Amino acid sequence: MATEVGPTPVKAPASGGTPIHHGPKGVGEDNKILSQGKWAAWLLAPTIIALAIVIVYPIISAIVMSFQKDAGLDPATGLFTAGGPAGVQNYVNWIAQQCATPGGGTVACPPGTLGAQFWSATTTTFIFTIITVTLETVLGFWMAMIMARNFKGRSLVRAAVLVPWAIPTAVTAQLWLFIFDFQGIANKLFNASILWTGSEWPAKWAVIIADTWKTTPFMALLILAGLQMIPAEVYEAAKVDGASAWQRFRMITLPLVKPALMVAILFRTLDALRMFDLPYILTGGANNTTTLSILVINQIRQGFNAAAALSTITFIIIFIVAFIFVRFLGANVVEQSGATGKGKK
């Protein structure tokens, strides 16, 4: 992380456009660019130092902590004593779902401990992520298509769509908690008596519905931005060539909006993998809705060091997902933008 966060902003102006365009103009210009680069480094230094303090230091500190044992109780005095170095034991305990025993060994964590929830929390997190991101992409795309059209009251619609996104997540969760109450409107509306927060799949769907309601606007806005970058002439040309609406969508809209769409999906995926507030307030993590973030927060109250290990594991999981996105789908983004660039010229 440290190396990535550090140099990228410094490099940014160099690869960002201007210097490259001015590049071939002469030696004097080169010197100017060099000193400009130096200046840039100096001007960016405060930001980088601030980032190092607020991001890099806590990360390193968390990783160091994750290799320490949590404090144990001295049976004679009843006071806590320092745990000492743990090696990779904290990590092994989480992944193998092992808990310490009074005798000093480890056993498989019994149900009712946080240690027994690691794999179910991982599964739950991915289930939530896959379903919500899929729903949000489809609905967001549809909303973006509507907002991109010219019609009377368009700005009103755009503002209205943003409302769910503007409400703080905790408030959203509380609202949906009322809706999913046994006597709440969800049951009244469908004349049902579902215990929304009281059994496994209804609880999962409650979280998914609330999350989709809240974050689809974010998706829609990012996709809308992508849609508006598509020049109208392309569509006109396609129309002249006799392309049907479906052909225009598949052959023009989809490929051209893909870079923006990928960024939107990446953002949402990383965000969904960290999901905390909604399930925490709606179900308290009951009925198999405990996500990795909820598990980390619960563990913090029971022992910092094991929590640090778990948050590092979570970090690695999210990193792998992000890596896959940037490597495979991100490479696509670069190719696409190059190709369309040439095509337009």
Minimal distance in Å, beta carbon 156 to another protein?
A: 29
Minimal distance in Å, beta carbon 24 to another protein?
A: 19
Yes or no: say if 299 and 114 are a contact pair by the CB < 8 Å rule: yes
- CB of 31 or CB of 337, closer to another protein: 337
Q: Shortest CA distance to 113 belongs to which of 245, 337, 303, 279?
A: 303
Minimal distance in Å, beta carbon 334 to another protein?
A: 5
Q: Looking at residues 302 to 321 of the shown chain, list those that interact with another protein (rule: CB under 8 A).
A: 302-308, 311-312, 314-315, 318-319
340 binds another protein, rule: CB under 8 A: yes
Q: Looking at residues 117 to 176 of the shown chain, list those that interact with another protein (rule: CB under 8 A).
A: none
Q: If you write DSSP's letter for every residue of 204-221 in order, what string do you get?
A: HHHHHHHHHHHHHHHHHH
213 binds another protein, rule: CB under 8 A: no
Minimal distance in Å, beta carbon 16 to another protein?
A: 7
- CB of 26 or CB of 58, closer to another protein: 58
Q: Which of 90, 122, 137, 291 is close enough to bind another protein by CB under 8 A?
A: 90
Q: Which of 33, 114, 143, 144 is close enough to bind another protein by CB under 8 A?
A: 114
Structure tokens at 216: 């689809």
Q: Which stretch binds another protein (CB under 8 A): 98-106, 119-127, 211-219, 236-244?
A: 98-106
CB pairs under 8 A, 24+ apart, for 129-135? 129/269, 129/272, 129/273, 129/275, 131/208, 132/208, 132/211, 132/212, 132/215, 132/268, 132/272, 133/265, 133/268, 133/269, 133/272, 135/208, 135/212, 135/216
Minimal distance in Å, beta carbon 110 to another protein?
A: 4
37 binds another protein, rule: CB under 8 A: no
Yes or no: say if 206 and 176 are a contact pair by the CB < 8 Å rule: yes
288 binds another protein, rule: CB under 8 A: no
Structure tokens at 233: 């002439």
Site string for another protein, 50-89 (x = CB under 8 A): ----xxx-xx-xx--x--xxxxxx----xxxxxx------
201 binds another protein, rule: CB under 8 A: no
Q: Looking at residues 220 to 279 of the shown chain, list those that interact with another protein (rule: CB under 8 A).
A: 259-260, 262-263, 266-267, 270-271, 274
Q: How far apart are CA 20 and CA 43, in angstroms?
A: 21
Q: What angle do CA 333, 337, 339 make, to 5 degrees?
A: 115
